[in-house]
Amino acid sequence: MARSRRGGGSGASAGGGGGARELKQRVRTARGRKTSSTLWLQRQLNDPYVAAARRDGYRSRAAYKLAEIDEKYHILKPGYRVVDLGAAPGGWTQIAVKRTGVETNRGGHVIGIDLLPIETIPGATLLEGDFMADDAPDRLKAEMGGPADVVMSDMAASATGHKATDHLRIMHLCELALEFAIEVLKPGGSFLAKVLQGGAEKDLMDMLRTNFKVVRHVKPKASRADSAEMYVLATGFKGRKDDDGGEGDA
């Protein structure tokens, strides 16, 4: 359930300067290495977002996906409480920490969880565990200290290579993330989650439209063109029936 992540601030563009055009690097297929592994390595070496993440100090190229979405839709603001599901290796968490003002003591609070251990990110609370475990929602709520402004999920199940199966598995993760978001978001909050092209299933879209004012699919430039991934972004959480002070408050 671990995934790659993202970055922010003025360093969130991978375009960069410099007049000279960078030469593409070719990787020879070593004995014993699969051609697919060689192609992946060659793509990594020539990916401008990979280079930018290395330069800007982000844990992964995925940091730029969240940065780009936020620059367009402004879902992260100083003082916001953010929950990052499937946070490893921490790129999205790094962006959230920057943009909620945690680094500058502006009151933000960022909590991440993943199956894999995540190296410490100053200002973030990071939990190791399976979000699908029965106790995971309560563990997150205990760390939140109040309702969330944003719940975001870059979770993806391990690929099987079978398109229909992979789509169903990632949609299930998205549905679980949405159920949690509905439990913990404050009115006006936002939900962002990875899906696969073909978009969200009808039941999920119906649930999103019932609970949020605006629902859209987005594919940031940092998401590889040949990748089936895209994101569903729901903004303007309408609130729970008990948001006037009932037991449903996080």
Q: Is residue 194 annotated as part of the catalytic site, yes or no?
A: yes
Any binding-site annotation on 92?
Answer: yes
Could you say which of 24, 77, 194, 213 is catalytic?
194
Nearest to 6 by CA among 55, 49, 51: 49
In terms of C-beta distances under 8 Å and separation of at least 24 residues, what long-range contacts does 8-12 make, across chains too? 8/63, 8/66, 8/67, 8/70, 8/76, 8/94, 8/95, 8/96, 8/98, 8/99, 9/67, 9/98, 9/99, 11/52, 11/55, 11/56, 12/56, 12/63, 12/64, 12/67, 12/68, 12/71, 12/95
Residue 90 annotated as lining a ligand binding site: yes
- 138 labelled binding-site residue: no
Residue 63, both tokens: 């940091």
114 carries a ligand binding annotation: yes
Which residues are annotated binding-site positions for S-adenosyl-L-methionine?
Answer: 90, 92, 114, 130, 154
Catalytic residues: 194
